[in-house]
Amino acid sequence: MYLETDLIKIKQLAAEREDENYCFRAFLKEKDGKKVDSIVHRLHEKYVSMIDCTTCGNCCHCLKPRVEEEDIEILARLENISIEDYMASNCEEDFGDIYLKNKPCRYVDRKKCNIYENRPTQCRHFPYTDKEEFISRLWGMIGFYEICPIVFNLMEELKDRYRFYRKRN
């Protein structure tokens, strides 16, 4: 079984397979969503058991997580400052949502989250491959494909499972 965890190689392959991934997105849109979810959830369990996110941390370097009110309260308490002060120095608003504003995340040290047990809700759920309606989130998955080894390997195996054959040089 093939497993790719080299982040440089994943980024390179993502660039090479960008068109292929958009074609695969269109291909999957025509499939039964419940069946796709069933396969994706099994693959999620497989790859989450094989890839330790705490040894990667690439999402912490590449993404700005959305934070909920409860997350902000916890983070402000951890830093022993008011919610208002926390938001003013660490958050930004975009289209009505609030995000942590720094990349890499202020809480990541190399590849490890310093507040792992208290990390924001969105971080806890990343990469969302265990959620329902995978087909409705394919744009995001294509973006995460170059960032997250779980998504990369899951998508590649999903292509194989559906016998989605692509032209490769």
Which tens digit of pLDDT belongs to each residue from 51-100? 999 899 999 999 999 999 999 999 999 999 999 999 999 999 999 999 99
Q: Mean pLDDT per 10-residue run, the chain (169 residues)?
A: 92 96 96 97 97 93 96 97 97 96 93 93 96 96 97 97 76
∠ CA 145-11-164, nearest 5°, is 50
Q: Is the same domain home to 55 and 69?
A: no
d(CA 132, CA 62): 24
Q: What is the pLDDT of residue 132?
A: 97
- Strands (DSSP E) contained in 17-135 are 91-94, 97-100, 108-109, 112-113
Q: Is the same domain home to 70 and 112?
A: yes
Q: Which two tokens stand for residue 163?
A: 């016998």
Q: What is the pLDDT of residue 165?
A: 75
Q: Is the same domain home to 118 and 83?
A: yes
Estimate the crossing angle of helix 138-145 against helix 149-161, to 10 degrees.
120
Distance of CA 3 to the CA centre of its chain: 17
Range of the domain at 108: 64-125
Residue 1 lies in a domain: no
Q: Is the same domain home to 121 and 68?
A: yes
Tell me how many domains the chain contains: 2
Residue 18 lies in a domain: yes
Q: What is the pLDDT of residue 119?
A: 96
Q: How would you class 64 by CB atoms within 10 Å of its CB: exposed for 0-12, middle for 13-18, buried for 19 or more?
A: middle
Q: What is the pLDDT of residue 168?
A: 56
Q: Is the same domain home to 32 and 68?
A: no
Q: Is the same domain home to 108 and 70?
A: yes
Q: Is the same domain home to 53 and 131?
A: yes
pTM: 0.92
Q: What is the pLDDT of residue 158?
A: 97
Q: Is the same domain home to 51 and 100?
A: no
